[in-house]
Chain A
Amino acid sequence: MGTTARDNTRALLALGAAAALALTLSSCSSGSGSSGGSGGAKNITLITGVKSDPFYITMTCAAQAEAKAKGVGFTADGSAQWDVSVQRPLIDSVAAAKPAGLLVSPVDTTALTPSLKQIQNAGTKIGLVDTSVTDPSIGITRISSDNVKGGQVAADALAKQMGEKGSVIVISVKPGVSTTDDRIKGFTQEMAKYPGISVIPTLYDNDLPATAASQIQSTLAAHPDLGGVFAGNTNTAQGIATGLKQAGKQGAVKVVAFDAEPDEVTALKANTIQVLVAQDPAAIGTQAVDQLVAAFDGKPVTASIGTTMVAITQQNMNDPAVSKYFYKAAC
C-alpha cells in the first residue's frame, strides 16, 4: 500500500520543512536525557499513512495485539488522507508526548525528516513501517513488504493460471513510484523464465479506470493471445475488469492485482480478479512492535526486514492459512 498518492507539491513542502527545521533545531537540545531510563510502562505510538485504509487498519490491529502481549502501552492514529500536510501535525503532536517508541508510515520520503529527526533526538526509538524516508539516519528498524518478491509471486501465480502460455501485459498507475516500479521489475524478471509467455510493454492509466478499460480492449485487439494482466492498483483492476467484461473475455484473460482489501476479495469471489497478491500488514505491525521492544531492552535490532507476500486464488481463499491475509476493515 502507500504507493499511488505521491503528491506533486513536494518541493513546496520541502521548503516548509526546511523552515520548520530551523525552528525545531533551536528547541530540541533540551529534550534528551530522561526518556530512555529503566522501569515503568513503555509506550508505543503508531501513525499510519491513511487511517481508513484496510491495509493500515490490519497493521494497527496486529501491532496493538502484540503490544498488549509484550506489556507495553499502545496508541495509534493516522492521516485522514495520503498527504504530508495532514500527517505532519500528527507526528509533531507525538513529539510533545515523548513516547518510548514511535512507529510511522511516512507519506513522503523527505518532507517529514526534520520532524522525525527531532523526535529521535529527544530519545524516542523510531521504526519505519511500510513506507520509509530517504535519510538513513532516521529509525532503528525499517519493515516493509519486499515488492520485487511480490512481483515475482504475482508472475508465478499468473503464469500458472494462464497455463504458462500467451501474452501478458502490465497496466499500472504511473511510472516513477518506487513500490509499483519494484513490483513490475520483479514481475517482468520472473515472467522471463516462462518461454511460452511474452510480455507486452507496460501501459499506464494515470489512475483512471476508463483509460484502463480502453487500454485492455485495445490490447486484446492487437494481441488476441492475451492471457493475463497485472493490474497496478484497485482502480486499474476495476477498469480492466469492466473492459474485459465488455469484450466478453472475463475469466478468459486472467487478472492479478495487489492487496487483499475487502472489495478486492469480493472481486476475487465474483471471478473478476483471479489472483490477489496480498502483503502481510499484520506481520509488519507485529514485527515492528517486537523490534521496538527489543530496543527498549537493549537487545539487538534488525535494521531492515522485508515481509513476504502471498498469492490468493479462488482455489485457496477458504484455507485459513491463506484467508488470514485478507485485510480487515476493523479489528
Chain B
Amino acid sequence: MTRSQLPEWARRALRRNEAWTFAILVVLVAYFSISAPGKFFTVYDITQIAVNAAIYLVLGVGMTYVIITAGIDLSIGSVLVLAAVAAGEYTIHHGAAGAGWFTVAVSIVIALAVGAAWGALQGALVATGKIPALIVTLGGLGAALGLAEIATGGQDPSGAAATHLQNSLGYGKVLGIPWLVVLAAVVTVVFGLLLGGTRFGVHTFAIGSNPAAARRAGIPVGRHLVKVYALMGLLAGLGAVMWLASYGTTSIAGHSTDNLKVITAVVLGGTSLFGGRGSVLGTVIGVFIPAVLTTGLIVVGVQQYWQDVAVGAVLVGAVYLDQIRKQTRERT
C-alpha cells in the first residue's frame, strides 16, 4: 500500500512529529509485553506507570509552552520545592498532618501562587531581552532552592502535608483511576487545547518562530513571555501540591534532576528546542517513554542503568529523525 492510498487522516498523522516517537513507545510496550507476559501492561502496571508519570506530565505541559517560545526553564525542580515548602510551612502552623480542609485549600493556593509568582518574575526578566532564559532560570534554580533551604534549615520539615490531602489527591481513586492521573490528564487536555486551538497558542508559536515578526504583527511579546513563564511556575506549584499529596514531604534534595527529565520528555515528544514547533500530545508520549522503560527494564530484569542509555539513544535518535524530515520537507 503506497502512501497515496492511505486515507487523508492517516497521511496527516504520519506527517506529525509525534507519529514517530509514538511508534517507539508502541514498540517498547509491545517488546516488554511479549518479554514479560502477564507482568507488564497489566491494569496494575499501567496504573502505576501513569501515577509515577503524572507530576512530570504536568511539568512537561508547562515546559512545552516555554520551549515553543524558544526559551528554557531550568528552575522547575527548585520552584516545585519552594512552593512545597511554602505550602508545607503553612500546613505545619495550621494543624500539620491533622489539618482541616480549609488549611488544605489555602496551602494549595499558596503553592500555586508561589510558583506562578516566581515564574512571572523569571518571565519578566526574560522578556527584557537582556538576559537569556537559560541564565535567568539557572539563577532561579539556585535562588529558589536556597530560599527553601533558608526557610527550613535544609531539613524536610515533618507534618508538611495534611492527611486529608494525602488520602484524597495522593492515594484516592475515582472509578479505579488515581486522582493524580485524573488531574494530570485534565491539565494536559486543557493546556493542549489552549496551545492548539486559541489565540494564546498561536501567539506562543509565533514568538518562538520569529519574535521580531511577532512583534511587528502586533503581538505583545514581552507580556506573552511573562504569561508563559508564569504558567510554567503555576504548573510547578501544582506539581508541588501533587508531590506533597503523594509523598507527604517536601523532599528538598529530591528534585535536582527534574528539569533534565522534563526537558528530555518535551524534546522526545518532538518539540523543537529552537522554538516554533511542538505539541502537548508529543510531550505526553515523551513523558511515557522513560516511564515505560523504567518499569519495563525492572520487570524484565535488566540492569536499571540501561534505562539511561536507552533514553539517551532514543533522545538523540528522535531529534536526528526530526531534523532529516524537516530538511526533506524544506526541499520539496
Contacts and interface: CB of A to CB of B under 8 A. Distances in A.
Interface in A177-216: 201, 203-204, 206-211, 213-215
A239 interface: yes
Contact of A217 (B40, B48, B257, B301): B48
B164 interface: no
A235 interface: yes
Given A210-B254, A213-B52, A215-B298, A245 B158 contact: no
B294 A246 contact: no
Nearest to B36: A222
A210 to B, nearest CB: 7
A247 B48 contact: yes
A217 B46 CA distance: 11
Contact of B39 (A206, A209, A221): A221
Nearest to B297: A218
B88 interface: no
Contacts of A217: 48, 51-52, 295
A218 B155 contact: no
A110 interface: no
Contact of A52 (B45, B154, B178): B154
Taking chain A's interface residues, is the majority helix, strand, or loop, or is none over half, making it mixed?
helix
B299 A210 contact: no
Contact of B51 (A203, A235, A246): A246
Interface in A253-310: 262-263, 266
A215 B304 CA distance: 9
Contact of A222 (B155, B178, B249, B298): B298
B246 A246 contact: yes
Contacts of B304: 203-204, 215
B161 to A, nearest CB: 11
Contact of B299 (A80, A206, A221, A245): A221
B253 A207 contact: yes
B55 A210 contact: yes
Contact of A221 (B42, B249, B251): B42
Given A209-B249, A217-B52, 6 more contacts: A52-B155, A218-B48, A218-B294, A235-B251, A242-B170, A246-B51
